[in-house]
Amino acid sequence: MAVSWDRFQAVFFDLDGVLTDTARIHAVCWKQLFDDYLESRAESRGEAFVPFDLERDYATYVDGKPRIDGTRDFLASRGIHLPEGRVGDPPREESIHGLSIRKDALFLRVLRSEGIEAYPGSKALVARVREQGLRTAVVSSSHNCAEVLEAAGLAGDFEARVDGVVIDEMGLKGKPAPDSFLEAAQRLGVAPERGVVVEDALSGVAAGRAGGFGLVIGVDRTGNAQALREQGADVVVGDLAELLA
């Protein structure tokens, strides 16, 4: 699939599921976190345990969002409203922050024990657009973005990084709000309409469209092509290698 890159100045890549296979790890860790919590809660209340659905719940409530928002939004979908807590809450604290920190610990354990690699097609596309003079940035809700990029051998391929740490520090709204993409565009000195957003999450595609970016590319690795288009993707591909033509 051919894309005319010459009318753009920069490409803004999501991380998990776009550059690296970490979306799969995140999904499994979210399921472990919520199933453990929901099962314990159901047992203590004498209620039926309804597990976290890897396809429906992950895509709808947590994929692409800052983890604090994902925790809050999924629990709210089950009618559960916990105290927000604080950033320093311990992982076993029954609060939004406590559960979010617990999920992060699960993810880091897997990342550090198994490592991670970049998708070959994604790595090739990053190299191609850089060769053509386009600027590149990573825009991710992950607090572990820098560590993942380093582990995947991508740390030197991006001029700017707006991740979960930056989002927290600046008080930006997370995806599907466009704030993180707009901040990355500002850091590169590129107008949104001259930028390309590459996303696999519905919330990320919606953020790119809301930000007025010139092209929004959806990456469908899970059979979600129609939903990506409905959220505003101009182009949907199964792998970024398809854009190397």
* Residues marked as catalytic: 14, 16
Q: Which of 2, 13, 19, 6 is nearest to 216 (CA)?
A: 13
CATH fit for domain 5-21+117-244, picks 3.40.50.1000, 3.30.450.20, 2.60.290.11, 3.40.640.10: 3.40.50.1000
pLDDT tens for 129-156 read: 999 999 999 999 998 899 999 989 999 9
Residue 22 is predicted with a pLDDT of: 84
Residue-averaged pLDDT of the chain: 94
Residue 55 is predicted with a pLDDT of: 85
**What CA–CA distance (Å, rounded) separates 244 from 225?**
19
With a cut of 80, say whether residue 1 has pLDDT above it.
Answer: no
Could you give the residue range(s) of every CATH 3.40.50.1000 domain in the chain? 5-21+117-244
Contact 75, 82 (CB under 8 A): yes
SS3 153: coil
pLDDT tens for 108-127 read: 888 888 888 899 999 999 99
**Which residue has tokens 């919520």?**
34
Q: Name the β-bridge partners of 118.
A: 20
pTM over cut 0.85: no
pLDDT tens for 17-73 read: 999 988 788 889 999 999 999 999 999 999 999 999 998 999 899 988 888 999 999
> 161 falls in which pLDDT band (50, 70, 90)?
very high
Please spell the DSSP secondary structure of 19-85, one letter per residue: TBTHHHHHHHHHHHHHHHHHHHHHHHHT----PPPTTHHIIIIITTS-HHHHHHHHHHHTT------
Residue 89 is predicted with a pLDDT of: 84
- Distance (Å) of CA 73 to CA 38, 58, 68, 76, 82: 14, 11, 9, 5, 11
How many helices (H) and strands (E) in the chain?
10, 6
Cβ-proximal residues to 211 (8 Å cutoff; 6+ apart), any chain: 178, 181, 182, 185, 192, 197
Q: Which two tokens stand for residue 79?
A: 């009618």
